[in-house]
Amino acid sequence: MEIGLEELQLAARNHGMPLEALRYDRTPAGLHYLLVHYDIPDVDADRFRLIVDGHVERPMELTLADLRERPKVSAPVTLECAGNGRALYEPRPVSQPWLLEAVGTAEWTGASLAALLAEAGVRNGAVDVSFAGADHGLEGGVEQDYERGLPLAEAIRPDLLLAYDMNGHALPPQHGFPLRLVVPGWYGMTSVKWLLRIRVLDRPFDGYQNEHGYRWKTEDDAAGTPVERMRVRSLMVPPGFPTFLPRSRNLRPGPVTLQGRAWSGAGPVARVEISIDDARTWAEAALEQPPGPHAWHRWTFEWDATPGDHVLASRATDATGAEQPLRPDWNVGGYTNNAVQRVPVVVAGEF
Amino acid sequence: MEIGLEELQLAARNHGMPLEALRYDRTPAGLHYLLVHYDIPDVDADRFRLIVDGHVERPMELTLADLRERPKVSAPVTLECAGNGRALYEPRPVSQPWLLEAVGTAEWTGASLAALLAEAGVRNGAVDVSFAGADHGLEGGVEQDYERGLPLAEAIRPDLLLAYDMNGHALPPQHGFPLRLVVPGWYGMTSVKWLLRIRVLDRPFDGYQNEHGYRWKTEDDAAGTPVERMRVRSLMVPPGFPTFLPRSRNLRPGPVTLQGRAWSGAGPVARVEISIDDARTWAEAALEQPPGPHAWHRWTFEWDATPGDHVLASRATDATGAEQPLRPDWNVGGYTNNAVQRVPVVVAGEF
């Protein structure tokens, strides 16, 4: 693998969640993964207005106070970047070079999107709803505010939030201050940050980020299919302690509790299995209930570590029967890589 | 430049401060640069004890409550990683591959280290004070808790803090919860996080991070000199808006306020100059007073952007007369790169 300066510029700005932070039910701010498409905009909360318009009976313009006065809804939601694992594909698609860390779970608090849309009165014939943020840039030759569309049926789900708080505090600037969308179950690209405008459309949304970005395809010139829900995945806290470079793992012999998290955008996780022999044999981990229907499950596995080299792995299966693959499912954009994580460890009395 | 997997693993965990965050006097948590040497330890605040021992009259053991009961000291302090700019050296030293972003300024609140040492009673003959954290790893073949030494004369300066709050809230886990050292003026490696033990020594501290790490040298087998205070530096908020990849800058013609920050570990900044012609000619920027003696200065510069390609640059000079160089001062470890930042921009009416 050889990463160039352009990608390093993205990797230096954006950041993953160090995997030891899988220990937290709710990821502390600053540890939650962060992807900023363009620049972090400087939105003045006092002048902020959310526009709701398009194919609705009653267009609206709301201040932050208007939104905070509405019934408050809170939920822990796991968000993962659609490009998580991109740098582990071969050949490697060139973009933000994520390894495994582009995930996090926060308690998001805000107003219900469905209630807002009901108040605005969605007209017959509505198809999609688009969400535009203040994040401005040039991509694929198109100057744009970051904007994503959602099918109406998804937008009126009861669990979508217009979030103004993260873990009980106002959103940090980098997570969308003062307002962002949170779409549980979907990869993070749809949870538009620095949200300024919601448009109800009587035709499919054809903006850049749906038509060109976030398409799953194996050939450059194919139309592909849209990237939507998070595939089933599990990750492990690498046990023991690291070597500074290359961040390999060192562990003393004896009993150790392996732990991690598992999630799926398709529903609950049904099973997590652990391997200590590089995915040759598997044993079932203890799986906890998640802190909410759209948050990750904690899993644990008791292991009596014996001296020598081992490759640990975890594999989750969700309620639909979908299971993590051993090898990544390559695609042009480097999306949805939910291949089983491998964690080589050296177990020894001395290092 | 070609970054390998080992370095990318560091870049994916650690993160810089996106340069648009130079707009904040105090960097919001999660935007401040972060370097974790090994893993983020899980320190139980209730069981936490700070040990103060070694060459003192009265060894001490303090709880977090003991520390919080002591007189509270707050200060905005700019911290920069000693390796900031490492990936811009040629040949490129292999380690955390920072570009420009490893800096931040927080309001740190805590107890005075000098007062604590006075209470413990430093004995005659004391030379160094060492600070050990809970962060544990293997580096250069040495298993270690991260530990740094400071000359006694520096340790008893009145402005060193044992900090428990960052920007008015308890330290986030990744910034040293529940307690860290803050050494204003020095590169960040000395501001030991997850601090557990302070030892006063009657001999020079000879631990790994002083004897092997953070040495400035131009030949592998040289002893080198210790890396200590931050060199004078300025950085600019890249104006306009970015292209997603390669993060180049696009700007419309007309008046624009360029802005950024400047700092030095040797004292106040005396002057910041701006060039819009790739460092051929310079003009003086307006320089503001910093929010505290150890925090960065804001600077601004009014520019009437004309269509075409320009390379912007900023150059700071501190009160000692030290000036940022145009070319980096190469060294084995890739430390102290304070070379002038270049920001290519395309000014046009349409993109």
* Single-letter residue type at B115: A
Buried b (16+ CB within 10 A) or exposed e, B155-193: bbeebbbbbbbbbeeebbbbbbbbbbbbbbbbbbbbbbb
Contact assignment for B40 to A20 by CB distance below 8 Å:
yes
Predicted confidence at residue A74, as pLDDT, reads 98
Chain A to chain B Cβ contacts (< 8 Å): 183
pTM of the model: 0.97
Residue from the list B4, B174, B241 with its beta carbon closest to the beta carbon of A138: B241
Per-residue pLDDT tens for A226-259?
999 999 999 999 999 999 999 999 999 999 999 9
Q: What pairing do the DSSP bridges indicate for beta strands B341-347 and B249-251? A: parallel
Interface test with B, best of A241, A251, A337 (most B CBs within 10 A): A241
Give the C-alpha separation, B13 to B39, whole Å: 10
Residues of B within 8 A of A13 (CB-CB) are: 15-16, 18, 101
Domain range annotation of chain A: 5-226, 233-347
For domain B5-226, give its CATH number from 3.90.420.10, 3.40.640.10, 3.40.50.12590, 3.40.50.150. Answer: 3.90.420.10
Phi-psi region for residue A131, left (φ > 0), alpha (ψ -120 to 50) or beta?
Answer: beta
CB A304 within 8 A of CB A195: no
In this chain, the answer to whether the domains covering B5-226 and B233-347 adopt an identical fold is no
Contact assignment for B15 to A13 by CB distance below 8 Å:
yes
Please list, in sequence order, all residues whose beta carbon lies within 8 angstroms of the beta carbon of residue A232, skipping any fewer than 6 positions away: A262, A263, A264, A266, A269, A316, A317, A318, A322, A323, A324, A338
Residue from the list A99, A136, A174 with its beta carbon closest to the beta carbon of B8: A99
Length of chain A in residues, anyone?
A: 351
Q: Nearest residue of A to residue B34 by CA position? A: A30
Give the C-alpha separation, A130 to A148, whole Å: 6
Per-residue pLDDT tens for B95-136?
999 999 999 999 999 999 999 999 999 999 999 999 999 999
Q: Name the minimum distance, in Å, from the CA of B333 to any CA of chain A.
A: 14
One digit per residue, the tens of pLDDT, for chain B of length 351 reads 788 999 999 999 999 999 999 999 999 989 999 999 999 999 999 999 999 999 999 999 999 999 999 999 999 999 999 999 999 999 999 999 999 999 999 999 999 999 999 999 999 999 999 999 999 999 999 999 999 999 999 999 999 999 999 999 999 999 999 999 999 999 999 999 999 999 999 999 999 999 999 999 999 999 999 999 999 999 999 999 999 999 999 999 999 999 999 999 999 999 999 999 999 999 999 999 999 999 999 999 999 999 999 999 999 999 999 999 999 999 999 999 999 999 999 999 999
Q: Nearest residue of B to residue A102 by CA position? A: B12
CATH 3.40.50.1820 assigned to A233-347? no
Mean pLDDT of chain B: 97
Give the C-alpha separation, B211 to B224, whole Å: 9
Q: Name the minimum distance, in Å, from the CA of B320 to any CA of chain A.
A: 32
